[in-house]
Amino acid sequence: MRAMGAIKDIVDLCIKLRDERRDGKTSEFIGQIRSLTLSLQSERATIAEKNAELVTENLALNANCSTWRPLTQMQWPRLKKVIGRNCAHYGKQPEDSG
> What is the C-alpha to C-alpha distance for residues 96 and 62, in angstroms, rounded to an integer?
26
pLDDT, position 82: 79
Question: Between 41 and 93, whose confidence is greater?
Answer: 41
> What is the C-alpha to C-alpha distance for residues 72 and 60, in angstroms, rounded to an integer?
19
Its pTM stands at 0.48
Residue 98 confidence class, pLDDT cut points 50, 70, 90: very low
pLDDT, position 1: 53
pLDDT in tens, 16-56: 877 776 666 677 777 788 888 888 888 888 888 999 999 99
Using CA atoms, how far residue 1 sits from 7, 51, 78, 82, 95, in Å, is 10, 19, 55, 55, 50
